[in-house]
Amino acid sequence: MDVISVIRTKRDRGELTDEQIDWVIDAYTRGEVADEQMSALAMAILLNGMNRREIARWTAAMIASGERMDFSSLSRPTADKHSTGGVGDKITLPLAPLVAACGAAVPQLSGRGLGHTGGTLDKLESIPGWRALLSNEEMLSVLDGTGAVICAAGDGLAPADKKLYALRDVTGTVEAIPLIASSIMSKKIAEGTGSLVLDVKVGSGAFMKTIEDARELASTMVGLGTDHGVKTVALLTDMSTPLGLTAGNALEVRESVEVLAGGGPADVVELTVALAREMLDAAGIRDADPAKALADGSAMDVWRRMIAAQGGDPDAQLPVAREQHVVKAPSSGVLTRLDAYDIGVAAWRLGAGRARKEDPVQAGAGIEMHAKPGDTVTEGQPLLTLHTDTPDRFEYALQSLEGSFDIGSGADFTATPVVLERIA
């Protein structure tokens, strides 16, 4: 095999053979194929695509580059969830303990924020003492003892994907649907979960801006899961408006605890319960009611045990930013639009996110939203509160909020459902 022939095959719109795919993934992982050569192949895939067989084999090759986890020793069926990322997307935090409270085991491998999208691990690390990095043995112990674990993926899980993802991030090939799908699914399949529910975001604050692109990505990932023996379902969900009333790390943890306590914003509760029902159904658990588990406190009990098992103090005070700035409504009327991307960029500029993976984040930084689209507002009332430890960030964040919302009449507003489609 030689990498030039592999690149030329895909450049000329040909199909890669199983042998070519196996070889190039293995050779790239070992360093035999250079970054610039894999960049050329990734760009050819972006431009010319892959068929289902190629994507399935590419995914299998990335899984084979590392270890596979095994949860067969658990007494519960396993179910996992993956979100493609958004603004205010704190759903994993209440969802994992909720599904565990209903009888499934939830091995949730999560990531960090990059750019305008938040990261689950960054949010949880605002809890004093909480640890994201667990060994496989520690992960299994927490999962066995509490029913849920949220942690970082180990270096041994799909190392080819880790290397390729970093390359795609700097070569303009992040948007290639075959590479997005195989990246997500290689880690989830190697993780060893028995079933998987995908939350594929659609809208300005998502990577998939159109319903057509989101549907293609979701269908591709559901097909990959099915081909590898993992029962997989996808929900397409709205990300034109931020989820909930907060965007930022400690701010979102507080809101998640409110949901676990039986309150919280209606859209967060609705999506959490919808995903929980899908996960439980996929795991074969059909006699549990996740809405009841939120109301009776059993999900909160699992949350507290899960946080404590990973070194966190569930009773500790969460960080609060030193400085705040209030954005007031310029007129009275109905808030008809609140753009998710603009809110996400502003939260990022306040210190809640990072431009590079190695950048630090501020635990208390972010944005509180005092109204959502459809709400009536009056001139001068607080619309947004910006939080940061470094007040010189306010001006930069406010620039991204210019044109981020509209206030009009009720006739100008049409509600968008949280769940747009289901693909199975």
Q: Which of 40, 51, 54 is nearest to 7 (CA)?
A: 40
| Same structural domain, 33 and 137 | no
| Same structural domain, 294 and 347 | no
Q: Is the model's pLDDT at 243 over the cut of 80? A: yes
Q: How many domains does the chain have?
A: 3
Task: Give me the amino acid identity at 232.
Answer: T
| Same structural domain, 232 and 105 | yes
Q: Is the model's pLDDT at 256 over the cut of 80? A: yes
Task: Give me the amino acid identity at 269.
Answer: V
pLDDT in tens, 190-242: 999 999 999 999 999 998 999 999 999 999 999 999 988 999 999 999 999 99
Provide the pLDDT for residue 410.
82
| Same structural domain, 109 and 201 | yes
Q: Is the model's pLDDT at 115 over the cut of 80? A: no
| Same structural domain, 208 and 113 | yes
Q: Does a structural domain hold residue 333?
A: yes
| Same structural domain, 87 and 200 | yes
Q: Is the model's pLDDT at 297 over the cut of 80? A: yes
CA distance 26 to 20: 10
Confidence of residue 151 (pLDDT cuts 50, 70, 90): very high
Average per-residue pLDDT in the chain? 95
Q: Which residue has the higher pLDDT, 118 or 390?
A: 390
Confidence of residue 175 (pLDDT cuts 50, 70, 90): confident
Copy the structure tokens of residue 217.
């990505």
Check if 183 is active-site: yes
Q: Does a structural domain hold residue 186?
A: no
| Same structural domain, 95 and 143 | yes
The active-site residue, picked from 187, 231, 305, 349, is 187
Provide the pLDDT for residue 227.
87
Q: Does a structural domain hold residue 172?
A: no
Q: Is the model's pLDDT at 406 over the cut of 90? A: yes
Check if 182 is active-site: no
Q: Is the model's pLDDT at 63 over the cut of 80? A: yes
The active-site residue, picked from 123, 163, 168, 277, is 168
Q: Is the model's pLDDT at 64 over the cut of 80? A: yes
Looking at residue 16, which CATH number applies to its domain?
A: 1.20.970.10
Q: Does a structural domain hold residue 399?
A: yes
Provide the pLDDT for residue 153.
86
- Residues 227, 217, 366, CA angle at the centre, nearest 5°? 125
Provide the pLDDT for residue 172.
85
Confidence of residue 169 (pLDDT cuts 50, 70, 90): confident
**How many angstroms from the chain centroid is the CA of residue 67?**
23
Q: Is the model's pLDDT at 358 over the cut of 80? A: no
Q: Which of 240, 237, 233, 203 is nearest to 219 (CA)?
A: 233
Check if 298 is active-site: no
Out of 285, 309, 333, pick the residue that ends a domain. Answer: 309
Out of 277, 309, 341, pick the residue that ends a domain. Answer: 309
The active-site residue, picked from 82, 116, 188, 349, is 82
Q: Does a structural domain hold residue 43?
A: yes
- Among 53-67, 110-124, 328-342, whose mean pLDDT is lowest? 110-124
Average confidence (pLDDT) over 267-275: 98
Q: Does a structural domain hold residue 167?
A: no
How crowded is residue 295: how many other Cβ atoms within 10 Å of its Cβ?
Answer: 12
| Same structural domain, 385 and 337 | yes
The active-site residue, picked from 110, 183, 240, 256, is 183
Check if 325 is active-site: no
Beta strands at 195-202 and 80-83: parallel, antiparallel or unpaired? parallel
| Same structural domain, 147 and 268 | yes
Confidence of residue 356 (pLDDT cuts 50, 70, 90): confident
Q: Which of 316, 404, 333 is nearest to 367 (CA)?
A: 404
In total, the chain counts a number of residues equal to: 424
Provide the pLDDT for residue 217.
95
The active-site residue, picked from 161, 199, 227, 238, is 161
Q: Does a structural domain hold residue 175?
A: no
| Same structural domain, 239 and 270 | yes
Check if 187 is active-site: yes
Provide the pLDDT for residue 354.
82
Average confidence (pLDDT) over 102-124: 90
% of residues, the chain, pLDDT over 90: 88
| Same structural domain, 290 and 207 | yes
Looking at residue 275, which CATH number applies to its domain?
A: 3.40.1030.10
Beta strands at 333-338 and 323-328: parallel, antiparallel or unpaired? unpaired
Domain limits for position 273: 80-154+191-309
